[in-house]
Structure 1
Amino acid sequence: MVDGQRLSTAPGAHRLVNSLIHTRNGSVETGFVKAPGARLYYEAAGRGHPLLLIHAGVADCRMWDAQFPVFAEQFRVVRYDTRGFGKSLTEDVSFSNRQDVSDLLDHLGIERTYVIGVSRGGSIAIDFTLEHPERVAALIPVASGLGGFKSGSRPVQETQMFAEMDRLWEAKEFTRLADLEVRMWVSGPGQPPDRVALPVRERIREMILNNYTTHKVEGQSIVMEPPAAGRLGEIRVPTLVVLGDLDESGVLAAADEIVRGVAGARKVVVPGTAHMLSLEKPEEFTKIVLDFLQSLGV
């Protein structure tokens, strides 16, 4: 084993690899992992300690385009589309996102990894750390959700925006829903709609619409019990919580809860950013992550 990665791959894994793309920065392996009722798309590149990237619920693995090649210079970096997002299709079955992560790591021959997750991906990362503590070397929840956490009352504007998102979802008005989600998650609640550069807003809007229009079947996610909010004290790995100060109040409260609950957890707030801070300020975000991982001395 080298840096937490087995030298051999899981049995039969090579048969599922689609291609090996050669770039100026090295080769990128692309393929699909078989999981119960699904095929999970992934990309892997680089050498060194494994680093897993889990995307937000308003995106797919392309949200990591700015970070993926940079991280691949120092790590064995893996990004994937969670079930029902991007290129990862699912059948109408019950499934566990934690098990999907485990199946992906098994497929790639990875025993232990650093994990970064944004928003919904952060919640998956935390749950995976609790369910498979032996497989996580460091945890970075970014603008993260937190299973079982109740943030309390919200500002009126946020409450109204969430209610309207629910209404648009039920009505299947996906174009209007994508526009509203961009205002909430990219610009930030209460912020000018054009606060973030148009290319960033358009990129995330495209990913949102693609997920809504491509994936007619979602499956049923099995919630971890007991939920993470009451188990944060079980997390024993180096943890860095990252968020923007313009995010919605529930995310801000969840970040404080994670820092309180995980022994030794650090928190970095990126001023002037909202929920999708890794796309809004990619260079600053990348530096924060690299500084933290390099401080671990691996």
Structure 2
Amino acid sequence: MLIHGFTLDRRVWRPQVRSLSAGFRVITYDCRGFGRSSAPAGPYSHHDDLHRLLRHLGVARPHLAGLSMGGRIALNYALARPGSARSLTLIGSDVGGHRYGFDWDAGLAALDPAAAKAVWLRHELFGTVRRHPQAWELVRAMVADYSGWHWRNRDPRLPPDTGAVTRLAEIRAPVDVVVGALDLTDFHRVSRTLATRIPGAHRTVLPGVGHMAGLEAPDAVNALLLRRLTCGSRQQRSDP
């Protein structure tokens, strides 16, 4: 199960779907309020949405991979349902409770959607993906299709997950923490926190890569995911 980041949608995983689907069942989806999914109409949580989707699809113990916000969702899923995730791959991940050194939404709520998106696309998060024309075109398309709902409304997510960073030691699934060498300082801090506090977690730094690792270095990310999936398949066959 591949979980996208903020203002993006399931299309961000196109390079991974092409690579992984030859040998594995690969599922992507649009989180609530993003892509083709409807905006929140009341209290909800992304990890509960994920749980219901997996149950509907008949998936009991998924491998989860998340980019940025998607990593945060994967972590919350694993914390809410111990033993339910076969593995976590956290790429440029967010985590509830981390205090960022920058304002994610500075001034965007006051702008009309088109202007807000133009400002957002100038964010340093996207600094390195601009060097990759096809990837940058896809990012621009996803942001263009984003409704902007979260900039204009109070998000009714429940319950708050700000304590997640203090509960990382509870995670028992195999965890790969991945961060681009050129990603923002905050995401390096988060990656080190995850790798230090989650038992047995392994941290990989991808050289020459920024926040959008799966688009900027698809071969490297695909190799990491395939290694995790292959390892998980061998372990599953050996379990009694």
AA aligned opposite 2:141: E
Deviations 1:121-176 (A, max 9, x none): 0000000010012320101111000101225xx4xxxx4xx47x511332235345
Maintained 8 Å contact 2:72/2:94:
yes
Shift of 1:283: 1.3
Query: What is aligned with 1:114?
Result: 63
The match for 2:109 is: 169
Q: In the alignment, residue 129 of structure 1 is paired with which amino acid?
A: A
- 243-252 vs 287-296, which moves further: 287-296
For residue 68 of structure 1, report the CA deviation from its aligned partner.
Answer: 0.9
TM-score of the pair, normalised by structure 1: 0.72
How far apart, CA to CA, are the structure 2 residues paired with 1:294 and 1:74?
9
Per-residue Cα deviation, 1:13-71 (whole angstroms, up to 9, x for no partner): xxxxxxxxxxxxxxxxxxxxxxxxxxxxxxxxxxxxxxx11011131001111111321
Contact persistence 1:168–1:174 (CA under 8 A): no
Counterpart in the other structure of 1:256? 192
Of structures 1 and 2, the one scoring higher in RCO (CA 8 A, sep 6+) is 2
Number of residue pairs aligned between Structure 1 and Structure 2: 233
Aligned CA distance change for structure 1 residues 221 and 269 (closer, same or farther; 3 Å): same
State yes or no: 1:78 paired with 2:27.
yes
- Rounded to whole Å, the distance in 1 between the matches of 2:159 and 2:112 is 25
Q: Which residue of 2 aligns with 1:201?
A: 136
Q: Give how far 1:280 is off.
A: 0.8
Q: Please identify runs of 4+ aligned residues in structure 1 that moved more than 4 A.
A: 213-219
Q: Is residue 4–residue 67 contact of structure 2 (8 Å, CA) maintained in 1? A: yes
C-alpha RMSD of the superposition: 2.3
Distance 2:149 2:50 in 1: 22
Structure 1, unmatched stretches of 5+, are: 1-51
Distance 1:231 1:214 in 2: 30
Residues 246 and 132 of structure 1, relative CA distance in 2, 3 Å threshold: same
On the 8 A contact 1:91/1:218 being kept in 2, the answer is: no
Q: Which has the higher helix share?
A: 2
Q: Determine the structure 1 residue equivalent to 2:230.
A: 294
- Give the partner amino acid of 1:228: A
Q: Which has the higher strand share?
A: 1
Matched ranges for 1:1-298 at <5 A: 52-150=1-99, 154=101, 159=102, 162=103, 165-172=105-112, 174-175=114-115, 177-188=117-128, 194=130, 196-212=131-147, 220-225=156-161, 227-296=163-232, 297-298=234-235
| Structure 2: 5+ residue stretches without partners | 236-240
Residue type of the partner of 1:174?
A
SS of equivalent to 1:275: coil
Q: In 1, Cα distance between the equivalents of 2:195 and 2:132? A: 31
Query: Does the Cα contact within 8 Å between 1:84 and 1:217 map onto a contact in 2?
Result: no
**Alpha-carbon separation, structure 1, partners of 2:181 and 2:117:** 24
Of the two, which has the highest radius of gyration?
Answer: 1
User: Aligned AA for 1:121?
Assistant: G
Cα contact 1:115–1:140 (8 A) shared by 2: yes
